[in-house]
């Protein structure tokens, strides 16, 4: 990407000085070239000024297109919100949306946010594969939602693991995104006596928290017929919801 500025004056020298004066400190990092020398014309008729171009090459942002895409979404939703960009130590680009109306873009358990993040990644990387450039990971967050949701899921994983150990029954959580399932798996890994596995497909894929050494899909632990999940204290099938849980 190239940034360019043109300046006109009676002479090339004056055009150069004009450019330096108007660009200020910015001119120090720029090159310039004389695009056109002045012409006096015929008896002063048809005289043209000198034209000088200042220019510099700007490396394309890793989030090129993604930031503009998110800003367009905000504008189309007609909500008051701002987007800021930052980069983590591993090169991930974090786009953060803030504003009192930004919550509308989160959706149920972050499904709208995840969809926007997916589209932002497509936008940022649509040319990178063709140009043989490294893939850039874009993470989209709204008012710290992702950290709050992660803590909610980790707390859920601990509570369900406690129930599995206490009642010796397996529990099936509601369907979750791949990222949310990874959080559950990660948290339960540190709890002795319980394990996790994923079942189902696509949007209906869910996590089972089960006793170590048992078969998580065994009828003995998950019930029969259409029922899914472990049993509650009355022996009925149940599926744990990440919001209500109890």
Say whether pLDDT at 6 is over 70. Answer: yes
Q: Lowest mean pLDDT: which of 32-41, 75-84, 92-101, 126-135?
A: 126-135
**Residue labelled with tokens 């594969």:** 129
pLDDT > 60? residue 245: no
Q: Tokens 């043989």 identify what position?
A: 132
Question: Distance (Å, rounded) from C-alpha 18 to C-alpha 53?
Answer: 11
- At residue 9 the predicted structure's pLDDT band, cuts being 50, 70 and 90, is very high
pLDDT of residue 231: 30
Is the pLDDT higher at 38 or at 231? 38
User: Can you tell me which residue has the tokens 């998950």?
Assistant: 222
Domains of the chain, by residue range, sit at 2-57, 66-143, 149-240
pLDDT digits (tens, 9 = 90+) for 115-140: 999 999 998 887 655 566 678 899 99
- Indicate the CATH number of 149-240 among 3.40.50.2000, 3.40.718.10, 3.30.1370.50, 3.40.50.620: 3.30.1370.50
Residue 133 CA to residue 125 CA, distance in Å, equals 9
pLDDT top residue among 189 and 125: 189
Residues above pLDDT 70, as percent of the chain: 83
Rounded mean pLDDT, 169-196: 95
pLDDT value of position 31: 93
Q: What is the mean pLDDT of the chain?
A: 85
Model confidence pLDDT, tens digit, residues 46-78: 789 999 999 998 766 677 789 889 999 999 999
Q: Is the pLDDT reported for residue 212 higher than 50?
A: yes
Contact criterion met (CB below 8 Å) for 149 and 109: yes
Is 148 in contact with 110 (CB distance < 8 Å)?
Answer: no
Tally of CB atoms within 10 A around 246: 6
Class of the CATH domain delimited by 66-143? alpha beta
Is the pLDDT at 181 greater than 80? The verdict is: yes
Could you tell me the pTM of the whole model?
Answer: 0.63
The whole-angstrom separation of Cα 109 and Cα 99 is 19
């Amino acid at each position: 990407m190239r940034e360019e500025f043109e300046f006109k004056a009676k002479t090339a020298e004056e055009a150069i000085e004009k450019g330096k004066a108007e660009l200020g400190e910015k001119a120090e990092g720029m090159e310039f070239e004389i695009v056109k020398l002045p012409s006096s014309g015929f008896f002063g008729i048809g005289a043209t000024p000198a034209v000088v171009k200042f220019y510099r090459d700007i490396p394309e942002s890793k989030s090129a297109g993604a930031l503009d895409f998110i800003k367009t979404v905000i504008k189309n939703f007609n909500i008051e919100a701002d987007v800021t960009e930052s980069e983590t130590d591993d090169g991930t680009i974090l786009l953060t949306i803030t504003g009192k109306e930004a919550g509308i873009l989160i959706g149920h358990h972050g499904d709208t946010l995840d969809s926007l993040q997916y589209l932002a990644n497509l936008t940022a990387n649509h040319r990178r594969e063709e140009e043989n450039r490294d893939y850039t990971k874009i993470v989209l967050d709204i008012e710290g939602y992702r950290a709050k949701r992660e803590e909610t899921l980790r707390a859920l994983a601990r509570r369900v693991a406690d129930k599995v150990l206490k009642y010796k029954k397996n529990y099936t959580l509601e369907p979750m995104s791949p990222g949310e399932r990874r959080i559950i798996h990660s948290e339960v890994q540190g709890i002795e006596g319980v394990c996790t596995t994923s079942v189902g497909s696509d949007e209906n894929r869910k996590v089972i928290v089960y006793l170590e050494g048992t078969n998580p899909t065994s009828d003995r632990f998950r019930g029969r017929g259409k029922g899914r999940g472990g049993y509650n204290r009355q022996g009925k099938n149940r599926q744990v919801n990440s919001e209500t849980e109890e």
